[in-house]
Structure 1
Amino acid sequence: MAGQGSAPRVFDRALLRRRLARAVTAGSEDFLLARAAADAVERLSFVKRDFRSVLDLGSPRPDVAAALAAALPDAAVTRMAPLAGPEPAGRWSRVVGDDERQPFAPGSFDLVVSCLTLQAVNDLPGALVQARRCLKPDGLFLACLFGGDTLKELRTALSVAESEVSGGASPRVAPFSDLRDLGGLLQRAGFALPVTDTEPLVVRYAHPFRLFADLRAMGATNALALRHRGPMRRGVLMRAADVYDERFSDPDGRLRATFDLIWLSGWSPHESQQKPLRPGSAKMSLAAALKPEG
């Protein structure tokens, strides 16, 4: 398994699944995942390709599989679900699996889509390699994950509050990769024609506790392996709410929460794809191209 055994344990994956299970059992909704699913379908609409075998790779809920099944009516859609419990049925088959141990044979799909799950794997390079291997030649990988500016306001508020009240700060919000790092990881994983871009989304709240409630409803609360295991002190929480209000409120009093949605795409290599020119094969030198006429 690529990278397996050597990657640091940043996330408690078992805790992540338990928290997601609680959120799903409670019947809560995930507006960010619904947004990502709709954006994925829109991006695919610009790809002139007939996808027949499609994988929803580990998305937390069925939103992505449902969107893909509706947008690609002739495709056989498979959903790799992170949980074994019941979920709404749809026009897709379901297997239970883990992003870090993907249970598919090489060349199984011509489209793999992943939304808002890969930011919480311990071995992201290995997960990307596995996703590329399960693609057929010239198959497309499309993923959305949280980037480096996600919850930057909350990170600041919690850090300031804990430093003031407790004299030190412990990790409360997961680290997220930036755009350049992720583009490099696509290349390392063997994808051809890699593309990355970001879509910042700012959500506004009447109070920080509404943001906390949404994060719990999405099963997205702190699951860092090195997190502080005790409950957050009330004094820290109240001071964090004050800092949030002081530093990140708009003139109307509502508070900003940034979600940095990074999109990745790449193709499984195939001989028909465009190739970069060999070094030294250019027909004209740069100096000649820049030389003024006359």
Structure 2
Amino acid sequence: MATAPPTIFSPARKLARRRRAEAIYNRYDSEIFLIEHMADDIFERLSFMRHEGHNVLIDGFGDHLVAELPWNHPASFHYLEEQDLDQPARHVAGSFDLVVSVGMLDKLNDLPGALIQMRELLAPDGVAIASFVGGASLPKLRRAMFEAEPDRPAARMHPLVDPRSCPQLLGRAGWKDPVVDSHVLTVRYGSLDRLVQDLRVHAMGSVLAEPAPPLTRAGRERARAAFVAQADEDGKVSETFEIITLTGRR
């Protein structure tokens, strides 16, 4: 008998983060550069593969950015919106020739189940492609959070996927011709608060099912100081995001 996956992430908190980020984006037209980068990279990969998706399912915050890419052929776009890929499918299996997930697979309780569902939603020879933040991301933020609470550090950042585990996951999920790729995007920050602001705009705040208590004022100041202490000579901190991309067929 199969056991249910552990509940690491809260669906309710994840939905609340996404709605808040969407409200900020719609009100202020905030730059969601990570999602834009992922969407552009996905489009380049599909162009290289010469795969023309005509019936496309898109999952993820900023899904409209994928639909707005310069597709050179007519395409019909469908969205998961408030549903996660690790939940029972609302779409008929084999309905799509392209399934795209942007910035979402790192926050699922059942990642293997989501990969299986992406494959099942594809028509024969359809393509699945997913891009998300990987395990080597935000090392300087992690250090700052640790130094904020040196005696009893709390879990304030959720676990991330190691790209080395992905080939086995894709094999178990039955993806054909699986490809795992990763690269690093470096972003420079003048303060910890600006980094946290960017994470919130990208709906990347903590969505742990058991959130840690709020940082004390002293803890926040220690975190800010620890972050700035890692700055380059010009006073800015070079923070990194590892972007993992998974590609495969049915």
The normalised TM-score by structure 2 is 0.92
User: What is the one-letter code of the residue matched to 2:14?
Assistant: L
Q: Residues 141-192 of structure 1: CA distance to partner in whole angstroms, max 9, x if unpaired? A: 11101111111111111012211xxx20111111111111112111110001
User: What is the one-letter code of the residue matched to 2:64?
Assistant: P
Higher relative CO (Cα under 8 Å, sequence separation at least 6) belongs to: 2
Q: Residues 21-58 of structure 1: CA distance to partner in whole angstroms, max 9, x if unpaired? A: 11211234421111111111111110123332111123
1:190 is aligned to 174
Specify every segment of 5 or more residues in structure 2 that has no aligned partner in the other structure, as ranges.
none
1:24 is paired with a residue of what secondary structure?
helix
The equivalences for 1:41-190 within 5 A come to 41-67=43-69, 70-82=70-82, 97-101=83-87, 102-163=89-150, 167-190=151-174
2:95·2:122 contact (CA, 8 Å) conserved in 1?
yes
2:57·2:96 contact (CA, 8 Å) conserved in 1?
yes
Q: 1:19 aligns with which of 17, 20, 35?
A: 17
1:60·1:81 contact (CA, 8 Å) conserved in 2?
no
2:220 is aligned to 237
Q: Residues 216-246 of structure 1: CA distance to partner in whole angstroms, max 9, x if unpaired? A: 2222111112221x32111111111111122
1:51·1:72 contact (CA, 8 Å) conserved in 2?
no
Larger Rg over CA atoms: 1
Q: Residues 56-107 of structure 1: CA distance to partner in whole angstroms, max 9, x if unpaired? A: 123444212222xx3243222222223xxxxxxxxxxxxxx32222311111
Specify every segment of 5 or more residues in structure 1 that has no aligned partner in the other structure, as ranges.
83-96, 269-294
Moved over 3 A (4+): 58-61
Q: 2:231 aligns with which of 234, 249, 272?
A: 249
Q: CA RMSD in A?
A: 1.5
Distance 2:206 2:59 in 1: 22
Shift of 1:194: 0.8
Residue identity over aligned pairs, in percent, reads: 37
User: What is the one-letter code of the residue matched to 1:242?
Assistant: A
The size of the alignment, in residue pairs, is 244
Distance 1:127 1:59 in 2: 16
The normalised TM-score by structure 1 is 0.79
1:45 is paired with a residue of what secondary structure?
helix
1:88 is aligned to none
User: What is the one-letter code of the residue matched to 2:118?
Assistant: A
2:184 is paired with a residue of what secondary structure?
strand
1:151·1:258 contact (CA, 8 Å) conserved in 2?
yes
Q: 1:213 aligns with which of 197, 200, 209?
A: 197
